[in-house]
């Protein structure tokens, strides 16, 4: 009986740990992609201090994609646009 209780507890802890790591990764990924791609030519601050709507960021990121072909994939661009739109919303301007 005691052994089973311990096993159940261990399984619960492992599950909790896995869920936590997954959640953290999900939140970190967009910022990491943004930092990796958007600080290659200039500081990433340039984008973080700007407020644009979705259309504005789509245009900007498209422009940046063209500056170095095959550096920012369309999939990364989409993630970066989502990230920047959410940052702009936080800035509230
Ligand atoms: C290949 C180099 C390069 C990369 C990579 C790059 N940029 Fe730029 N960026 C530039 C240059 C050069 C300028 C100077 C102004 C111009 O030409 O538009 C600039 C200007 C900007 C500006 C100011 C002008 C504007 O249109 O608002 C923003 C904001 C910006 N970049 C955001 C980003 C973001 C976001 C990313 C990542 C998706 C990125 N940049 C990646 C080269 C780059």
Q: Is 67 in the pocket of ligand 1 (CB under 6 A)?
A: yes
A 10 A CB-CB count for 22 gives 9
Tell whether the model's pLDDT for residue 51 goes beyond 70: yes
The per-residue pLDDT for range 56-84, each reduced to its tens digit, is: 999 999 999 999 999 999 999 999 999 99
CA distance 93 to 90: 8
Distances (CA, A) of 62 to 21, 43, 72, 91: 32, 18, 9, 22
The larger pLDDT score, comparing residue 84 to residue 17, is at: 84
Question: Separation of 57 CA from ligand 1 center, angstroms?
Answer: 11
CA distance 43 to 65: 16
Chain centroid to Cα 59, Å, comes to: 19
What's the mean pLDDT when you consider all of the chain?
85
Q: Is 41 in the pocket of ligand 1 (CB under 6 A)?
A: yes
Q: Is 81 in the pocket of ligand 1 (CB under 6 A)?
A: no
Question: Separation of 25 CA from ligand 1 center, angstroms?
Answer: 26
């Amino acid at each position: 009986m005691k052994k089973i209780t311990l096993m159940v507890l261990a399984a619960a802890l492992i599950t909790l740990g896995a869920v936590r790591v997954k959640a953290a990764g999900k939140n970190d990924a967009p910022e990491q992609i943004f930092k990796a791609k958007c600080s290659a030519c200039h500081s990433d601050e340039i984008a973080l201090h700007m407020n644009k709507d979705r259309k504005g960021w789509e245009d900007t990121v498209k422009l940046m994609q063209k500056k170095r072909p095959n550096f920012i994939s369309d999939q990364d661009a989409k993630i970066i646009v989502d990230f920047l739109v959410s940052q702009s919303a936080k800035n509230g301007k």
